[in-house]
Amino acid sequence: MSAIFPKWTNSLPLALGAVVAVVGGVVTAGVALYATPKHTRVGYEPVQPVPFSHKIHAGQMGLDCRYCHNGVEKSWFANLPGASTCMNCHNQVMKDDPLLAVVRDSAATGKPIPWVQVHKVPDYVYFNHSVHVTRGVSCVECHGRVDQMEEVYHAKSFSMSFCLDCHRDPAEHIRPTAQVTHLDWQWSTNEAVAAEMQATNGTKFVHDWKVESLQSCSACHR
């Protein structure tokens, strides 16, 4: 009986298996690296209508986040300031600078400045800023070191597991409420001491402030 399959076909399953493994591995790694929010959202740095520098305003000058985002403690969203807030200083500082023409125009006419939103959760996610910042969750936990950003970029992934990491262990991420807007704040410059104080105080804060850190579906998907 003549051979139906030539001899080389004996190694075909192995070769196929190898190709599938390699291609599968590359695709899996590619998806994990590039198709998750860690890549799709992180690093998004849109071009803004005014090259506003948080590094200068919040970093160098040390303005409190709430000077401009003044509704963040009361509202579910952290508002952008009205142009009149900018004009509190910029009616004198760089008052004829062409870069600020949009701001002056907005303050004079009421026409909004077309800022581009950087951090956007999907519309089926409910996130409340006020409940976080008044319970000791710092801006830096979600937004990164904005005070070091020349232009704001998306620093954290904002994936569902990103939220849950904190909701499952709030004591690790909670700080004294007076330090919420101090992005570089730490318990101690000594890492071991800082970790120790975070552990003891974090647990205490979670208890004292009745931090629920809900994990039910309807907490966020309401």
Interface with other proteins by CB under 8 A: which residues? Answer: 22-23, 26, 29-30, 33-34, 37-47, 61-64, 66-67, 70, 77, 79-80, 82, 84-85, 87-89, 91-93, 110-112, 114, 117, 122-124, 153-154, 178
Nearer to other proteins, 175 or 198 (CB): 175
Q: How far is the CB of 195 from other proteins (least distance, A)?
A: 26
Nearer to other proteins, 121 or 194 (CB): 121
Q: How far is the CB of 192 from other proteins (least distance, A)?
A: 29
Q: How far is the CB of 13 from other proteins (least distance, A)?
A: 16
Nearest-angstrom CA–CA distance, 66 and 149:
17
Under 8 Å between Cβ of 209 and 136: yes
Nearer to other proteins, 94 or 195 (CB): 94
Q: How far is the CB of 190 from other proteins (least distance, A)?
A: 27
Closest CA to 46 of 117, 147, 144: 117
Q: Which residues are CB-neighbours of 53 under 8 A, at least 6 positions away?
A: 150, 151
Nearer to other proteins, 96 or 123 (CB): 123
Nearer to other proteins, 4 or 8 (CB): 8
Q: How far is the CB of 170 from other proteins (least distance, A)?
A: 23
